[in-house]
Structure 1
Amino acid sequence: MKEYQSLSWYAARIKPHLPKEAFKPVPSRLLGGLAFLVVIVAGFLAVGLLELNLWLNLLIAFVLGACYASLGFLGHEILHGTVVRKPWLRDLLGAISFWPLCTGPSLWRKWHNMNHHVHTQDEHKDPDAWITAEHLEKNKLVRLMYRIPFFIRATFSLFSLAMTFTVHSSRMFKVYIKDFDPRNRPKVWLQLILPWASWIGLLFWIGFTNWIFVFLLPLLIANFIVMSYISTNHRLNPLVPVNDPLANSLSVTVPKWVDAIHFNFSYHTEHHLFPSISPKYYPLVKEQIKQRWPERYHEMPFLQAMIALFKTPRLYYQQNELVDPRAGNRYGSLGHGLDPNNISYQNPGEALPTSEKPKNKDV
């Protein structure tokens, strides 16, 4: 990887080549959200009113989970201001879209827009950045976790994606609630409480068994889908001193129909470069990037990225490497020696000394 460049450095060279309409809101994106809401209502009615067998209920739960995830992707788009611009309408539609994931629009904009995007892969400031090797020394729980054999750890991490977004969202609430103006905190609390209250109220209305199929299982499925993308977005990339979206982000490739129902969330490098334009135009951004900096751009099939995540540890060492402290195995990161087609490691011959173990935040 050559020297890092800032986000604005890339944007200044691409923006003149994008159509003017790319920088305008695209309200028609809401039609997709409406379609998912119709499917969700139909799923609720089918589970609540029909006496379906277990397998049909499980199928409906999977469809509902996929819809919840897609609404989350749309909510992400809405809260970046690329669908509607009026703040009250943006927040209302964002709240509806994130309702199944129980994340409020004010928290999301604070956590995601104002911190993750501004400080992407900064080991101290990005709330979504993975931990670094100095952290082991400071956290007994993390030290215990990294004593577990790598394969067991990797398997647990894969299955834990089904809970991670919900858990991390709760953690972000605790981190950022104190940063809100005291006058706005009641609104932020309300945005947290109302979704959970509605889902818990639904439990008492339709009964525990039906609730499992319309909320609990779909929530786990939605978590897994959303976190599968979020995990591939940055966790194979290095930590960086400069917010360079071509260095710190990864775009994955999926079938076109998947891009359609996930609102082009796979174009993640493009999103970090132009978060204020509609994902509808990200294919044009990708063309511009690949024409100018093909050697810098990171892209791979989604499944390959997930396999690479499974085969590499989630602990940074000296920013550019991923390390398994139990065995001392060190892997490169994207742009720094990691080959997704042939994942291998260097073993210096011993586990990391205590003074060289993890520092940062958990996702």
Structure 2
Amino acid sequence: MKDLHSFGWYAARITPHLSKNLFKPVPARLWGGFAYLLVVVAGFMGIGYFDLHIVFNILIAGIIGASFAAMGFLGHEILHGTVVKTAWLRNFLGAVAFWPLSTGPRLWRKWHNMNHHVNTQHEEKDPDAWPNLEKLVQNSFLRVIYRMPFGLRAFFGFVSLSIQFTMHGLKMFFEYIKDFNPRNRPAVLLQTILPWSSWIGLLFWIGPVKWLFAFFIPLLIANFIVMSYISTNHRLNPLTPVNDPLANSLTVTVPKWVDVLHFNFSYHTEHHLFPSMSPKHYPLVKQHIKKMWPERYHEMKMSKAMKALWNTPRVYFKDNELIDPYKEARFGTLGNGLDKEKKTYKKSV
């Protein structure tokens, strides 16, 4: 990997072409979040107060789950300061938006804003980076997983998307709680406990069967939607010693109506260049990136990116390749052999 540049290097060259108004917060985005909140509450009430047919319960669960995911996308936006700037209001709104995913605003800003964004795809410092072969050898659990045949492993990998965000969030809590100032740790703990307490309270209110449809199934759906984006954001890209968003990030393309529902979360390379800009303006940023560095920019249809995830392993070999330890087959990453158009994945054995 040669000629890598930091996100600041790219941002400095695009910013002169952008209006200063694009960097102002956009509080109108909250109306979308309010609409999702009303949908969730209405879903809870419908399931809780009425003995509906299972078909209707499943349908409502799907709608609640999709709303959970969308609220998480808005929470991500809020906690980057692109919706409101006042700190206490930003944290409060971020907490509400992330409530379904049970992630507190202090933990999220530490884990995501400070560590992931600053150290994206760094094999040691990025909390979201997948392991290299050396780490796999040292981890007995991962060694067992990677002895499974490739197809079976891919299947379980996709199924696990339905729990990965929740499990990783809990891991991040135990990973980072010690890094907070002792005076702030009670707040971080409270922000983690309160959402889960409310969901347990919901269980006692409506009973276990209705709770499955009101919260548990929606949580699985929300996890899958959120992790489908997060998985395609970076997991097809190489590990990079320099935080170069054009090398280590992928923008996926989805229908316009999906971008509207998901607050433009698909524009991920753009987000890593300008995390403090509202995603509302990312289509404009994308135009400038493609004009200035068309050969470096990575974008792919969501369906193709998910297919590429299915067909490649998640263990890195020498940063810019992926390796399947089961058969010792190596696969290219984006910019290093993974061809987005020809759909070729395997590089060598």
- Kept in 2, the 8 Å contact 1:121–1:238? The answer is yes
- How far apart in 2 are the matches of 1:347 and 1:302? 26
Q: Secondary structure at the match of 1:51?
A: coil
- Kept in 2, the 8 Å contact 1:311–1:343? The answer is no
Q: Is 2:234 the counterpart of 1:225? A: no
Identity %: 65
Q: Map Cα deviations across residues 13-49 of structure 1 (whole Å, 9 max, x no partner).
A: 1011112111111100000001101111111111112
Q: Which residue of 2 aligns with 1:52?
A: 52
Q: Which residue of 1 aligns with 2:286?
A: 286
- How far apart in 2 are the matches of 1:73 and 1:267? 12
Q: Is 2:53 the counterpart of 1:62? A: no
Residue 136 of structure 1 deviates from its aligned partner by 2.3
Q: Secondary structure at the match of 1:295?
A: coil
- Kept in 1, the 8 Å contact 2:337–2:345? The answer is no
Matches within 5 A, 1:263-282: 263-282=263-282
TM-score, normalised to structure 2, is 0.98
- Kept in 1, the 8 Å contact 2:136–2:315? The answer is no
Q: Which residue of 2 aligns with 1:360?
A: none
- How far apart in 2 are the matches of 1:318 and 1:157? 22
- How far apart in 1 are the matches of 2:104 and 2:79? 10
Q: Map Cα deviations across residues 227-255 of structure 1 (whole Å, 9 max, x no partner).
A: 00000000000000100000000000001
The 1:346–1:288 alpha-carbon spacing in structure 2 relative to 1, beyond 3 Å, is closer
Aligned residue identity for 2:108: W
Q: Which residue of 1 aligns with 2:9?
A: 9
Aligned residue identity for 1:240: T
Q: Which residue of 2 aligns with 1:175?
A: 175
- How far apart in 1 are the matches of 2:69 and 2:348? 39
Q: Secondary structure at the match of 2:330?
A: strand
Q: Secondary structure at the match of 2:25?
A: coil
- How far apart in 2 are the matches of 1:26 and 1:139? 44
Q: Over aligned residue pairs, what C-alpha RMSD do you find?
A: 0.8
- Kept in 2, the 8 Å contact 1:44–1:214? The answer is yes
Q: Which residue of 2 aligns with 1:142?
A: 142
Residue 132 of structure 1 deviates from its aligned partner by 0.2
- How far apart in 2 are the matches of 1:346 and 1:252? 23
Matches within 5 A, 1:296-335: 296-335=296-335
- How far apart in 2 are the matches of 1:308 and 1:240? 20
- Kept in 2, the 8 Å contact 1:328–1:347? The answer is no
Residue 2 of structure 1 deviates from its aligned partner by 4.7
- How far apart in 2 are the matches of 1:144 and 1:253? 35
Q: Which residue of 1 aligns with 2:162?
A: 162
- How far apart in 2 are the matches of 1:240 and 1:222? 29
- How far apart in 1 are the matches of 2:141 and 2:43? 41
- How far apart in 1 are the matches of 2:89 and 2:256? 29
Residue 294 of structure 1 deviates from its aligned partner by 0.4
Q: Secondary structure at the match of 1:241?
A: coil
Q: Secondary structure at the match of 1:333?
A: strand
Q: Secondary structure at the match of 1:131?
A: coil
Q: Which residue of 2 aligns with 1:342?
A: 343
Residue 177 of structure 1 deviates from its aligned partner by 0.2
Aligned residue identity for 1:280: K
Q: Which residue of 1 aligns with 2:207?
A: 207
Aligned residues: 348
Q: Is 2:41 the counterpart of 1:36? A: no
- Kept in 1, the 8 Å contact 2:311–2:345? The answer is no
- How far apart in 1 are the matches of 2:102 and 2:18? 35
Q: Map Cα deviations across residues 178-215 of structure 1 (whole Å, 9 max, x no partner).
A: 00000000000000000000000110011111111110
Mean Cα deviation higher: 5-14 or 45-54? 45-54
Q: Secondary structure at the match of 1:322?
A: strand
Aligned residue identity for 1:285: V
Residue 95 of structure 1 deviates from its aligned partner by 0.2
Q: Which residue of 1 aligns with 2:105?
A: 105
Residue 143 of structure 1 deviates from its aligned partner by 1.0
TM-score, normalised to structure 1, is 0.95
Q: Map Cα deviations across residues 40-64 of structure 1 (whole Å, 9 max, x no partner).
A: 1111111112221001100000000
- Structure 1: where are the runs of 5+ without partners? 349-363
Matches within 5 A, 1:178-257: 178-257=178-257
Mean Cα deviation higher: 11-20 or 302-311? 11-20
Aligned residue identity for 1:319: D
Aligned residue identity for 1:50: F
- How far apart in 1 are the matches of 2:146 and 2:12? 43
- Structure 2: where are the runs of 5+ without partners? none
Residue 343 of structure 1 deviates from its aligned partner by 2.1
Q: Map Cα deviations across residues 254-308 of structure 1 (whole Å, 9 max, x no partner).
A: 0111000100000000000000000000001000000000000000100100000
